[in-house]
Amino acid sequence: MTFNMKISAAAIALAVGVSGTLLAEQAKAQDAGQYVPGTVYRSGPYAPGGIPWANGYADYFKLLNERDGGIGGVPIIYEECDTAYSNDKGVECYEKMKNQGPTGASVFQPLSTGITYALIDRVKADEIPMITSGLGRADASDGTVFPWVFTLPVTYWAGADAIVQYIDQQEEGSLDGKTIALVYHDSAYGKEPINTLEYLAEKHGFKLELFPVAHPGLEQKATWLKIGRQIRPDWTIMWGWGVMNSTAIKEAAAVGYPMDRFIGNWWAGSEVDVKAAGGVSKGYLSAQFHGAGEDFKVLDDVKKHLVEKDLNAGPDEEVGDILYNRGLISAVFTAEGIAKAQEKYGQKPLTGEQIRWGIENINLDEARLEELGLTGLLDPVKLSCADHEGGGSVIIQQWDGENWKPVSDWISPARDEYLRDMYEKSAADYAAEKGIEPRDCSKES
Amino acid sequence: MSFLNAFFVDPFVQIADYPLFFIEVVIGGLLSGVMYSLVALGFVLIFKASGVFNFAQGAMVLFAALSFAGFIEMGVHPIFAFILAGIVMAGVAIAIERVVLRSLVNQPAIILFMATIGITYFLDGFGQTLWGSDVKVLDLGIPQTPIDVGGIFINQFDLFAAAVAGGLVLVLAIFFQKTRIGRALRAVADDHQAALSVGIPLKTIWAIVWTVAGLVGLVAGAMWGAKLGVQFSLALVALKALPVLILGGFTSIPGAIVGGLIIGVGEKVAEVFWGGAFGGAIEDWFAYMLALVFLLFRPQGLFGEKIIERV
Amino acid sequence: MLYREAGQFKTSYAKDWAIFPIAQDRIVVLGFLAIAFIAIPVLSSEYFLATILMPFLVMSMAAIGLNLLTGYAGQLSLGTGGFMATGAFAAYKLSTMFPGMPIEAVFLLSGVVAAFVGILFGIPSLRIKGFYLAVATLAAQFFLLWLFNKVGWFTNYSTSGVISAPPRTILFTDIYVTGPEASVTAKYLFALTLVAILALAAKNLVRSSIGRRWMAIRDMDIAAEIIGIKPLQTKLSAFAISSFYCGVAGAMWAFLYTGSVEPLAFDINRSFQVLFMIIIGGLGSILGSFLGAGFIIALPILLTNAPHLLGLNIPVDVISHVEYMIFGALIIFFLIVEPHGLARLWQILKEKLRLWPFPH
Q: pLDDT tens digits, residue range B201-219?
A: 888 888 899 999 999 999 9
Which residues in B lie closer than 8 A to residue C127 (C-beta atoms)?
Answer: 295-296, 299
Taking the CA of residue C342 and the nearest CA in chain A, the distance in Å comes to 8
Indicate if the pLDDT at residue C105 is higher than 70.
yes
Give me the amino acid identity at B54. Answer: N
Give me the amino acid identity at C14. Answer: A
Report the distance separating Cα A80 and Cα A331, nearest Å.
13
Are B209 and B220 in contact by the 8 Å Cβ rule? The answer is: no
Report the distance separating Cα A404 and Cα A285, nearest Å.
9
Closest chain B residue by Cα to residue C268: B239
Q: Cα–Cα distances in Å, from C148 out to B262, C160, C198, C263, C265? A: 27, 12, 26, 7, 12
Could you tell me the sign of the dihedral formed by the alpha carbons of A307, A313, A315, A317, in that order?
A: negative
Judged by CB atoms closer than 8 Å, whether chains meet at A15 and C302 is answered as yes
- Please indicate, yes or no, whether residues A307 and A235 belong to a single structural domain of this protein: no
Whether the CB of A251 is below 8 Å from some CB of chain C: the reply is: no
Beta-carbon contacts below 8 Å between B and C: 139
Cα dihedral C122/C125/C130/C136 (nearest 10): -60
Closest chain B residue by Cα to residue C315: B129
**Residues in CB range of C299: below 8 A, 6 or more apart:** A15, C327, C330
Report the distance separating Cα A158 and Cα A288, nearest Å.
11
Give me the amino acid identity at C354. Answer: R
Indicate if the pLDDT at residue C314 is higher than 90.
no
Taking the CA of residue A347 and the nearest CA in chain B, the distance in Å comes to 39
Give me the amino acid identity at C111. Answer: G
- Please indicate, yes or no, whether residues A331 and A438 belong to a single structural domain of this protein: yes
Quickly state the pLDDT bin for C1 (edges 50, 70, 90). Answer: low
Closest chain B residue by Cα to residue A226: B272
Exposed / middle / buried, residue A35 (Cβ in 10 Å: 0-12, 13-18, 19+): buried
Are C74 and C134 in contact by the 8 Å Cβ rule? The answer is: no
A100 part of a folded domain: yes
Quickly state the pLDDT bin for A24 (edges 50, 70, 90). Answer: very low
The number of domains in chain A is 2
CA-wise closest residue to C131 among A239, A324, B251, A98: B251
Judged by CB atoms closer than 8 Å, whether chains meet at C259 and A22 is answered as no
- Please indicate, yes or no, whether residues A131 and A81 belong to a single structural domain of this protein: yes
Q: Determine the residue among B123, B148, B228, B273 to mutate to test chain A binding: the one whose Cβ has the most chain A Cβ atoms within 10 Å.
A: B228
In whole numbers, what is the pLDDT of chain C averaged over residues?
89
Indicate if the pLDDT at residue A22 is higher than 70.
no
- Please indicate, yes or no, whether residues A377 and A242 belong to a single structural domain of this protein: no
- Please indicate, yes or no, whether residues A163 and A140 belong to a single structural domain of this protein: no
Query: 3-state SS string over C242-306?
Result: HHHHHHHHHHHHHHHHCCEECHHHHCHHHHHHHHHHHHHHCCCCHHHHHHHHHHHHHHHHHHHHH
- pLDDT at residue C360 in the model: 64
Identify which of B117, B285, B300 has the shortest CB distance to residue C139: B285
CA-wise closest residue to B19 among B267, B269, B290, B263: B269
Decide which of B300 and B267 is more confident: B267
Read off the pLDDT of each residue in A309-318 and give the average, rounded to a whole number: 88
Which pairing describes strands A179-185 and A207-213: parallel, antiparallel, or unpaired? parallel
- Please indicate, yes or no, whether residues A211 and A185 belong to a single structural domain of this protein: yes
Residue percentage of chain A with pLDDT more than 70: 93
Judged by CB atoms closer than 8 Å, whether chains meet at B237 and A218 is answered as yes
- Please give the residue range of the domain that contains residue A44: 34-154+292-382+418-443
CA-wise closest residue to C320 among A271, A182, A44: A44
Q: What are phi and psi of C75, to 5 degrees?
A: -100, 110
Residue percentage of chain A with pLDDT more than 90: 58
CA-wise closest residue to A433 among A145, A187, A188, A157: A145
Which residues in B lie closer than 8 A to residue C132 (C-beta atoms)?
Answer: 246, 250, 295, 299-301
- pLDDT at residue B1 in the model: 57
Taking the CA of residue A191 and the nearest CA in chain B, the distance in Å comes to 13
CA-wise closest residue to B262 among B8, B19, B32, B48: B32
Quickly state the pLDDT bin for B66 (edges 50, 70, 90). Answer: very high
Q: Give the bridge partners for A40, in sequence order.
A: A82
**Residues in CB range of A272: below 8 A, 6 or more apart:** A48, A49, A52, A245, A246, A323, B134, B135
- pLDDT at residue C86 in the model: 96
- Please indicate, yes or no, whether residues A45 and A145 belong to a single structural domain of this protein: yes
Exposed / middle / buried, residue B165 (Cβ in 10 Å: 0-12, 13-18, 19+): buried
* Three-state DSSP state, B304: coil
Judged by CB atoms closer than 8 Å, whether chains meet at C161 and A191 is answered as yes
A253 part of a folded domain: yes
Identify which of B18, B128, B233 has the shortest CB distance to residue A216: B233
Whether the CB of A436 is below 8 Å from some CB of chain B: the reply is: no
Indicate if the pLDDT at residue C164 is higher than 90.
no
Under DSSP, the state recorded for C165 is P
Indicate if the pLDDT at residue A148 is higher than 90.
yes
Angle at A26 between CA A22 and CA A29, to 5 degrees: 145
Whether the CB of A28 is below 8 Å from some CB of chain C: the reply is: no
Judged by CB atoms closer than 8 Å, whether chains meet at C276 and B117 is answered as yes
Give me the amino acid identity at A93. Answer: C
**Residues in CB range of B155: below 8 A, 6 or more apart:** A254, B28, B31, B144, B145, B146
- What class has domain B2-297? mainly alpha
Judged by CB atoms closer than 8 Å, whether chains meet at B121 and C150 is answered as no
Which residues in A lie closer than 8 A to residue B145 (C-beta atoms)?
Answer: 253-254, 256, 280
Could you tell me the sign of the dihedral formed by the alpha carbons of A278, A283, A288, A291, in that order?
A: positive
Which pairing describes strands A235-239 and A363-364: parallel, antiparallel, or unpaired? unpaired
Indicate if the pLDDT at residue B311 is higher than 70.
no
Identify which of B229, B232, B280 has the shortest CB distance to residue A212: B280
Per the omega criterion (within 30 degrees of 0), is the bond before C231 cis? no
Report the distance separating Cα C15 and Cα A376, nearest Å.
81
Are A347 and A76 in contact by the 8 Å Cβ rule? The answer is: no
Q: Determine the residue among A182, A207, A218 to mutate to test chain B binding: the one whose Cβ has the most chain B Cβ atoms within 10 Å.
A: A218
Quickly state the pLDDT bin for A25 (edges 50, 70, 90). Answer: very low
Give C 320-349 residues with CB within 8 A of chain A: 320-321, 324, 330, 334, 337-338, 342, 345, 348-349
H-only helix segments in A361-415: 366-372
Quickly state the pLDDT bin for C15 (edges 50, 70, 90). Answer: confident
Taking the CA of residue B263 and the nearest CA in chain C, the distance in Å comes to 14
The upper half-sphere exposure of residue A440, i.e. CA atoms within 13 Å in the direction of its Cβ, equals 2
Read off the pLDDT of each residue in B55-73 and give the average, rounded to a whole number: 93
Which residues in C lie closer than 8 A to residue A82 (C-beta atoms)?
Answer: 304, 316-317, 319-320
Which residues in B lie closer than 8 A to residue C335 (C-beta atoms)?
Answer: 104, 107, 111, 114-115, 118
Indicate if the pLDDT at residue A379 is higher than 70.
yes
Report the distance separating Cα B19 and Cα C48, nearest Å.
62
- pLDDT at residue A262 in the model: 95
Indicate if the pLDDT at residue A26 is higher than 50.
no
Report the distance separating Cα B190 and Cα B176, nearest Å.
13
Read off the pLDDT of each residue in C218-238 and give the average, rounded to a whole number: 92
CA-wise closest residue to B131 among B224, B61, B218, B67: B67
Taking the CA of residue C38 and the nearest CA in chain B, the distance in Å comes to 37
Lowest mean pLDDT among B177-191, C61-75, C134-148, C254-268: B177-191
- Please indicate, yes or no, whether residues A188 and A107 belong to a single structural domain of this protein: no
Indicate if the pLDDT at residue A28 is higher than 50.
no
**Residues in CB range of B4: below 8 A, 6 or more apart:** none
Report the distance separating Cα C178 and Cα C169, nearest Å.
7
Last residue of a domain, one of A233, A256, A288: A288
Judged by CB atoms closer than 8 Å, whether chains meet at C302 and A12 is answered as no
ipTM of the assembly?
A: 0.89
Which residues in C lie closer than 8 A to residue A5 (C-beta atoms)?
Answer: 337-338, 345, 348
Indicate if the pLDDT at residue A15 is higher than 60.
no
- pLDDT at residue A30 in the model: 44
Are C186 and C31 in contact by the 8 Å Cβ rule? The answer is: no
Which residues in C lie closer than 8 A to residue B122 (C-beta atoms)?
Answer: 324-325, 327-329, 332
- Please indicate, yes or no, whether residues A278 and A300 belong to a single structural domain of this protein: no
Report the distance separating Cα C140 and Cα B154, nearest Å.
34
Give B 86-105 residues with CB within 8 A of chain C: 99-100, 103-104
Indicate if the pLDDT at residue C100 is higher than 70.
yes
Q: What chains are in contact with B, requiring at least 3 Cβ pairs below 8 Å?
A: A, C
Closest chain C residue by Cα to residue A20: C48
- Please indicate, yes or no, whether residues A223 and A82 belong to a single structural domain of this protein: no
Q: Cα–Cα distances in Å, from A68 out to A61, A305, A337? A: 10, 11, 16
Which residues in B lie closer than 8 A to residue C151 (C-beta atoms)?
Answer: 279
Taking the CA of residue A40 and the nearest CA in chain C, the distance in Å comes to 9
Q: Cα–Cα distances in Å, from A101 out to A203, B128, B189, C44, C311? A: 51, 32, 61, 20, 16
Decide which of B263 and A88 is more confident: B263
Q: Cα–Cα distances in Å, from A362 out to A26, A110, A340, A355, A388? A: 32, 20, 7, 10, 10
Q: Give the bridge partners for A142, in sequence order.
A: A387
A23 part of a folded domain: no
The upper half-sphere exposure of residue A365, i.e. CA atoms within 13 Å in the direction of its Cβ, equals 3
- Please indicate, yes or no, whether residues A140 and A196 belong to a single structural domain of this protein: no
Which residues in C lie closer than 8 A to residue A26 (C-beta atoms)?
Answer: 47, 305
Report the distance separating Cα B43 and Cα B57, nearest Å.
6
Indicate if the pLDDT at residue C3 is higher than 80.
no
A378 part of a folded domain: yes
A25 part of a folded domain: no
Are B268 and B284 in contact by the 8 Å Cβ rule? The answer is: no
Whether the CB of A435 is below 8 Å from some CB of chain C: the reply is: yes
Give me the amino acid identity at C314. Answer: I
A123 part of a folded domain: yes
H-only helix segments in B191-281: 192-197, 202-228, 237-248, 253-269, 275-278
Which residues in C lie closer than 8 A to residue B117 (C-beta atoms)?
Answer: 272, 275-276, 328, 331
- Please indicate, yes or no, whether residues A142 and A166 belong to a single structural domain of this protein: no
Indicate if the pLDDT at residue C234 is higher than 70.
yes
Q: Give the bridge partners for A211, in sequence order.
A: A183
Which pairs with CB-CB distance under 8 Å and at least 24 residues apart come from A164-173?
A: A164/A197, A164/A200, A164/A204, A165/A411, A165/A413, A165/A414, A166/A263, A166/A287, A166/A396, A166/A408, A166/A411, A167/A235, A167/A263, A168/A204, A169/A408, A171/A234
Beta strands in C122-197 (DSSP E): 163-164, 168-169, 176-178
Give B 51-90 residues with CB within 8 A of chain A: none
Identify which of B109, B125, B284 has the shortest CB distance to residue C146: B284
Exposed / middle / buried, residue A171 (Cβ in 10 Å: 0-12, 13-18, 19+): middle
* Three-state DSSP state, A367: helix
Report how far apart the first and last C-alpha atoms of chain C are (Å, whole number): 12
Lowest mean pLDDT among A393-397, C128-132, C329-333: C128-132
Q: What is the CATH number of the domain that holds A174?
A: 3.40.50.2300
Report the distance separating Cα C108 and Cα A237, nearest Å.
43
Identify which of C48, C156, C161 has the shortest CB distance to residue A23: C48
Give C 190-249 residues with CB within 8 A of chain A: none
CA-wise closest residue to B209 among B181, B237, B234: B181
